[in-house]
Chains A and B, each alone.
Chain A
Amino acid sequence: MSLSILDRPNSYIGRTVPRPNAKKLVQGRGTYVDDIKLPRMVHVAFVRSPYAHARILAIRSDAAQAAPGVVRIVTGAEMAAVCTPWVGVLGHMKGLKSAPQYALAVDRACWQGEAVVAVVAHSRAEAEDAAQLVEIDWEELFVVADMETALDPETPVIHPELGDNLAFRRELDVGDVEKGFAAADAIVEETYITGRHTGVCLEARSILADYQPADEQLVVYHSTQAPHMMQTIFAKHLDLPETNVRVICKDVGGAFGIKVHTYPDEMATVALAKMLRRPVKFIADRMESFVTDIHARDHRVKARMAVSKEGRILAIEADDRTGIGPYSVYPRTSAIEANQVVNLIGGPYTNQNYRCTANVVFQNKNVMCQYRAVGHPIACAVTEGLVDKAARAIGMDPAEFRRRNLIADDAYPYKAPTGMVYEGLSHHKSLDKLLELMQYDRLRAEQAALREKGIHRGIGLAAFIEVTNPSAMFYGVGGARISAQDGCTIRLDPTGVITVSIGVTEQGQGTEAIMAQIAASSVGVPMDKVRLITGDTEVTPYGGGTWASRGAGIGGEATLQAGRALRENILSVAGTMLQAAPQTLDIRAGIIVDADTGAERMKLEELGRVAYFRPDTLPRDCQPELMVTRHYVQKDYAFVFTNGLQASYLEVDTETGFVTLLDHWVVEDCGTIINPQLVDEQIRGGVVQGLGGALFEECLYSADGQMLNANMADYLVPMASEMPDIAIAHVVTPTQTSELGAKGVGEAGTAGAPAAVMNAINDALSPFGASVAAQPFTPERVLRALGKIR
């Protein structure tokens, strides 16, 4: 039995090594889609609906067609002949319904920003000039903007053929909720609102499609998280054999779940390349990004919790309402977020009496779908908000209250009332570590002392669980061609370098660095002898891509297994060459050594030389297999859950309602840590996005469905000056589902940060009997809670 990768000599696992691609990116030499220029390439700009809901009566494009540089103007009807519509439903989301969605609106537009006419020209500027000349006669239709009234009988139905505006409903009722409430010493309730917001990627959505009619080959350069998924979708809706479609995804400037969906304007771009038989590029600009990139988090959850005076949670009941825009997004659907809210409320705690209803409704706003930490920050805010309220109601310290309710560290595997099984979590170790890290008691004393001086600081805690390493239960079982498995191929080159190609993708988080570390450790070569290939459907093994915190856990295990298999193959050849038993040999730092003494036996490049150029010197039955592929899928659980806690320390200016973040702490358990720095920066970045939702980010809409702040001046992303220091510590409970033991970490920061901030604000406001529950916690909302304004 060889050593586990974790304790192999010269293992890179657990070490902060620089990212191989960092230098290139820092030098500005990355290759983003917009950097690629092809011969005969043209650009597309879209005329978009100015209305939230309107019928297209007539389109006049003569003037636009005659404008300088214009190649072609295409309407929805023409586009529909080339690109078939799609419907965003999944088989296992029972009852989920949606209407066919087209690449370009055909008869009517259903949200402000929907693409209506495509204008193709020699430059983007010319396309925009011509787009301004396209005249559309509109007939404005009723607008369903408010999700609260979307199901009322007097509200018109957006898609009459669906019968109503209900996309999906989930109802869950486990244990005895009535009994829990009847036995309660205290019942707390609140309506929690999370503001509609979006993931603002540094690189906007980008796509360049190149179609070769001679052999019906389509190459799509795409800023995406899931190249193989997109390959299927392009092939299906453009009527091409799947093997003729190649999706290449070079550098991606952030994705956060935004770039894992089917976007009408991107489908139109690819269809245009097929129609025009030449390369067509579309780079979303910032303003169209705001009205077309998926939004998320627009939820209103009415919730209550029953507790005993000993501080036990006796029951939780919640009602979630969310508006997802006019269509369920394809192919992952817009039911997942609400479904996750149902699955995650109460998640860290032992309570088994749980009832939750989620209603997902259509409305005439931009679509909503999965954004980093799908559903988590919503469920966490609800749960942790109630927990703090309950602790306050019975006069118990919130840390102590959590201690009494968190699932015990030795209770695993543990089945939650939702039916989800947790493999192994470490809530109590994490809580202890957090309180120590933040010096909880000292902080409480400081808070009390400052309160005397009229300075109002708050401490907020939030426990969370995170869905990572998904099995095929997430999408595959629902009929979506989204792969839960991933493959890795590693080849030993004659120079002793290993070339690793893998289905998971890099969007800036350091996937390639992690895969290189695992491959280097597993095979036994130094980092500078590893070359990575990702993001090309024609080259890499088939895989799902990077989303749902699966890159390290799924892709990493495939890489580990491929590396081990290659090492075994190499050692078998080496054994023959050196007349030694393979198990007495090892590969360390790129050198074949005697496993016991570490003495050098042969360099890898020497083995490569012989294997590739002088195989005649090897025995007849020795055929070196120096390229191997291994696949991995997590099959033991629906998801491998992780856990952690966050804490926020902040100050509320009770005169102005301004919140100043002072400190933030995270204790997280993602199992095996491959690269500590990358893990910590994933958490920090995630926390910042969570803080954005908590304090700043919101897609503001008017009553008639117009987005009011679709630009970077008015949509407030979190910026460095407002961010606190974020201290991070870890508890390590490796998953037993893989040899690597790594769980995901990409969404943990975002999951818990808003709840921690909310609880801290409410802690600060508690002397005033005031509290907030609607994110973002703007100065105006805080002032209103304090009764300073109406």
Chain B
Amino acid sequence: MPHKYREKTIIPTIMGGYPRPPWFAEYLKKLEGSQKENLKEISEEIEQRAINDILDEQKKAGIELFADGQLTWQDFLCHLCTKIEGFKMTGLTRYFDNNAYYRVPVVASKLELKDNMISDEFELAYKTQPQTKAVLSCYSIAELSKNEFYNNKEEVVMDIASIINGEAKSLVKKGAKYIQLDEPSLLQADKNDLEIAKEAIKKIVRGVDAKFFLATYYGDASNIFPEILDFNVDVIGLDFVEGYEKNLELLKEYKTKKEIQAGIVDGRTTKMEKREDVKNKINNILDCCDADTFFLSPNTGLELLPYVKASEKLMNMCDCFRGEKYD
């Protein structure tokens, strides 16, 4: 039964990333070593077990819209670049302000889809849990990489967009009903970039029968308001941990009918939020939301938490609604 609160349907979800179950981390270490090269074929049976483990953790915590956890991804969002012909993975660099690194993808030739990006792992999750959200990215992976081939950023973004569009179509064929585009880099976009991102999203959603989420995090969205409200997506994800006050103001100032996915607990710390604080936050955000459905999630992926703390974080978030199913 979906949670009703203040006459809205509340759906607890996660952003996408989840820490690897410790046994699976060990397995990958043994299989792949710790070097930057030689990624090996992962046994499907083992991957299925790992995904089932973390789906189970999410379920126990109270999550209703799930994710496969990106358990085999080595480079955060730039993992997607490893699935695109034309990208070359190079030296390590810091991933935003995390104490974590990714290989910088370099665009060396025309970008084309190499093989399926995430639809195989999505399928594994979908088999166990049909309410699974698939996570992709476009503008941000262009921003996080270096272009040595195209004339300008726009060309890179648009070619990635067609590839993502193709991937979104295969995801839908495999059952996907929810597709999230993670765009943390969009928060630094200027007006021209926003125009590019908007066109790219138009291209991504074309002919794809799914509910699209546009997720932003690692800060507030003042740079991209109000333009983002015209983007061709159904749900807008905002970071109400690092950008709480600013994002609240933005929602107040620019009323929107779009659904909101609110990142309300900090996905990057083991510190557990006080329930009262979270509740207050949610009430304040709901005051500014018109849509009937409202998604709750941590503000970021949970992949940089210790395994045991990820489920605790989710449970703490979901607990804010236990016993409050009705007004």
- A and B: bona fide binding partners: no
Instruction: Give B residues with C-beta under 8 Å from A.
Output: none
Instruction: Give A residues with C-beta under 8 Å from B.
Output: none
